[in-house]
Amino acid sequence: MPKVVDPDARRREVVDALFRVVVRDGLQRTSLRAVADEAGLNIGSLRHYFASQQELMDFAMQSMLDGLTDRLLRHVEDIGDLSRHPPVERLRLAAGLLAELLPLDERRRAEVTVFLDFNAAARTNPAFRDLSDQAAAGSRRLVRRVLTRLDESGTLRPGRDLEIETERLTALLDGLGLGAVRNPDVLSPQMCTAVLAAHLGDLAGEE
């Protein structure tokens, strides 16, 4: 077997290049040729690893979602049982976990940026529908889970409708991401965390 090049590594390099192009130029201008240039590859080489544009896009978005999922699972594992932390800490831990979905550093900023573009495209491009819907469902699940845990541990004010609160917090996170990506100067990382903390504080009914 000739030409010893790890295909998986190459594919990851290409996906990294694709992310850079999407962040810099937008998904609309992310053509095979642009990605190949960014990766320092010939377009023929690129097409050796990804048979079609659709395959590349699917793999890229799936990679991003996998990475995010892993990070979230690790974060959840780090926290462990919520009841083993003092009540005062619980909101902070929840905020830290949910902040994985906010563009607070360069890595997360790139993730959210790419994700927003993919989502916008998914509205009218059926090829992206499944992954986009799956991502939306995942973040909604995470939020519901966090709220449920907080509620079960008695950290929330009683009488909350968890369905409504899930939609509210999910929408808040989406909106913060959107705003932080479009207007980073007014919706800085500090402002994002302050807003998230204020929201969770409200839910807990602190004075």
Partner DNA sequence: CACGTTGTATCACGGCCGTGATAAATTGTT
Partner DNA sequence: AACAATTTATCACGGCCGTGATACAACGTG
Q: Which residues contact 133 (CB under 8 A, 6 or more apart)?
A: 122
Query: At its nearest, how many Å lie between DNA and the CB of residue 30?
Result: 7
Nearer to DNA, 7 or 158 (CB): 7
Segment near a second copy (CB under 8 A); pick from 46-54, 71-79, 103-111, 125-133: 125-133
10 burial level (CB within 10 Å; 0-12, 13-18, 19+): middle
CA distance linking residue 200 with residue 203, whole number of Å: 5
Q: Which stretch binds a second copy (CB under 8 A): 37-45, 69-77, 79-87, 193-201?
A: 193-201
Q: How far apart are CA 167 and CA 154, in angstroms?
A: 20
Given the complex with a second copy, which of 89 and 133 has the nearer CB atom? 133
- Give the side-chain half-sphere CA count within 13 A for 111: 22
| Binding map of DNA across residues 7-46, x = CB under 7 A, - = no contact | x--x------------------x-xxxx------xxxxx-
Environment class of residue 20 by beta-carbon count within 10 Å: exposed (0-12), middle (13-18) or buried (19+)?
middle
- In whole angstroms, what is the distance from residue 22 CA to residue 63 CA? 14
- Examine residue 51 and tell whether it contacts DNA (CB under 7 A): yes
| Site residues (vs a second copy, CB under 8 A) | 24-26, 28-29, 113, 116-117, 119-125, 132-133, 136, 140, 161, 164-165, 167-168, 170-176, 178-179, 181-183, 186-187, 191, 194-195, 198-199, 202
